Amino acid sequence: MDHDALGDGITRDDVIDIIDIIGDKIPDSVLDKIIKIATWNIRNFGGSRDNLHIHYIAEVLSRFDLIAITELKEDTRDLEKVMKLLGPYWKVIYSDSNVDDKGNEERIGYLYDGRIIEFTGLAAEADPIRENFATKKQLTEIIDTNDEDILNDTDKEELIEILDRIQVSTDFPEYVRVKEFMKKIDDEFTGNRGDYAKKIVKRIGKFKSTHDWWRSPYLVSFKAGKFDFVMLTVHLRWGSEHKIDENRRINALDKLADWVKERRELEHVKDKDMFVLGDFNIPEVDDGFWNAITKHNLTTHRNITSDDHGSGFVENKRYDQIFYDTVNEHKIEDGGVLNLYPSQGDDPYRNITRERFVWDISDHFPIWVKVNVE
């Protein structure tokens, strides 16, 4: 940390209160052996903060080696100031901003110490999984009009009967999933040309996404020590407790879990070791939101789930998380929530009240894990 880098006269003594609060809560890194990964929703992290608050934020970020930042805004002037304070070895990668109202002009960013962490080439927004949909009329027509030398009338009648038994999609009520029809052909069709039938129906329809991320997750690959890994950071939609709203958010988490599983199973995937982290807006451990994202063996460190406070000023809420597959549990040696406002009585900061802290610094706390990279 170089508190002189901005030339604003602010020194380490001016932010000694947050330095004292952090204390020794975050373990040391060991080059090529131990790294600390964190995620932090820095509220409206754009270009409007006072320099004093920029120094506070930089002090927190400097305690980690790789930080996924959510609520990074289209205006990156505050981030650029933080980079100057952290020093020339620090690097940043961030996504394009979502400029519409629902995207809130937000980016996702990765801030990392280049002496410890290496970027290995992959940086992309995660597209939702698309599926091929077609109407029953389209599928019936392609079957009916096919060459009788390949599919005879009996074959065609049987295929149409199979199609009639398939329920239309709840996502697109006029359509059926072509993949489902193809599976039914495998399971139920008694004719000799099932492979050909699947080939012709596969050509019909339109690929559609069954959900909207709200804000696109951001996928970036890194290496530390001997450990190659991928970070997928999300800022999922906040919503009310209305049942329809809750179901929409649970569905997004469910689809995200499926996306992670399918990606890790690809033959030529960049790396199967993945951290899925960020602001999931999950209220509680083991609720419907939690169970949706963890359904395919994603887990987190026990110190994060057992923390009495949670990840922000609203106590016992589990909005922010760092998930990883259970096969990597042996690499996670420690973890926790860095509570930046531990006092419920007197204000622990000389220059920031509790009411202002949630705006000047953040209403979320960093979540972190200690990772063995040997």
Q: DSSP per residue over 235-247, as a string? A: EPPP--S-HHHHH
Spell out the domain ranges in the chain. Answer: 12-127+216-372, 130-209
Beta bridge partners of 73: 106
Spatial distance between the Cα atoms of 344 and 341, rounded to a whole number of angstroms: 8
Spatial distance between the Cα atoms of 71 and 142, rounded to a whole number of angstroms: 48
Residue 244's pLDDT band (cuts 50, 70, 90): low
What local confidence, expressed as pLDDT, does residue 227 receive? 96
Spatial distance between the Cα atoms of 151 and 197, rounded to a whole number of angstroms: 8
What local confidence, expressed as pLDDT, does residue 109 receive? 97
Tokens found for residue 7: 């030339």
* Lowest-pLDDT range of 42-46, 47-51, 137-141, 204-208: 204-208
Q: Do the strands 66-73 and 274-279 form a parallel or antiparallel pair, or are they unpaired? A: unpaired
pLDDT value at 100 more than 80 = no
Architecture per CATH, domain 12-127+216-372, reads as 4-Layer Sandwich (3.60)
What local confidence, expressed as pLDDT, does residue 216 receive? 87
Give start and end residues of each alpha helix (H) in the chain: 16-22, 51-61, 77-86, 136-144, 153-164, 178-188, 194-202, 243-264, 288-293, 302-306, 354-360
* Mean pLDDT value across residues 99-109: 80
For 355, the 3-state DSSP assignment is helix
pLDDT value at 149 more than 90 = no
Spatial distance between the Cα atoms of 25 and 366, rounded to a whole number of angstroms: 12
What local confidence, expressed as pLDDT, does residue 239 receive? 65
* Mean pLDDT value across residues 276-289: 90
What local confidence, expressed as pLDDT, does residue 311 receive? 86
Tokens found for residue 85: 């304070």
Overall residue count recorded for the chain in this entry: 374
CA distances from 27 to 37, 128, 211, 317, 333 (A): 11, 37, 40, 24, 11
314 touches 339 (CB < 8 A): no
* Mean pLDDT value across residues 83-91: 97
* Mean pLDDT value across residues 64-81: 96
What local confidence, expressed as pLDDT, does residue 171 receive? 83
311 touches 367 (CB < 8 A): yes
pLDDT exceeding 90 applies to what percent of the chain? 69
Q: What is the CA radius of gyration of the chain?
A: 25
Amino acid at 281: N
Spatial distance between the Cα atoms of 229 and 322, rounded to a whole number of angstroms: 14
235 touches 41 (CB < 8 A): yes
What are 190-205's pLDDT values in tens digits?
Answer: 999 999 999 999 988 8
Q: Is the dihedral of CA 31, 32, 36, 39 positive or negative?
A: positive
What are 323-359's pLDDT values in tens digits?
Answer: 999 999 999 999 999 999 987 667 889 889 888 999 9
Spatial distance between the Cα atoms of 62 and 90, rounded to a whole number of angstroms: 10
pLDDT value at 272 more than 90 = no
What local confidence, expressed as pLDDT, does residue 243 receive? 59
What local confidence, expressed as pLDDT, does residue 338 receive? 95
Closest CA to 318 of 286, 282, 358: 282
Give start and end residues of each alpha helix (H) in 64-215: 77-86, 136-144, 153-164, 178-188, 194-202
Largest CA distance in the chain: 86
What local confidence, expressed as pLDDT, does residue 297 receive? 93
Mean pLDDT, the chain, rounded, equals 91
Q: Which residues contact 356 (CB under 8 A, 6 or more apart)?
A: none
For 328, the 3-state DSSP assignment is helix
Highest mean pLDDT out of 106-110, 242-246, 312-316: 106-110
What are 285-305's pLDDT values in tens digits?
Answer: 888 899 999 999 999 999 998
Amino acid at 97: S
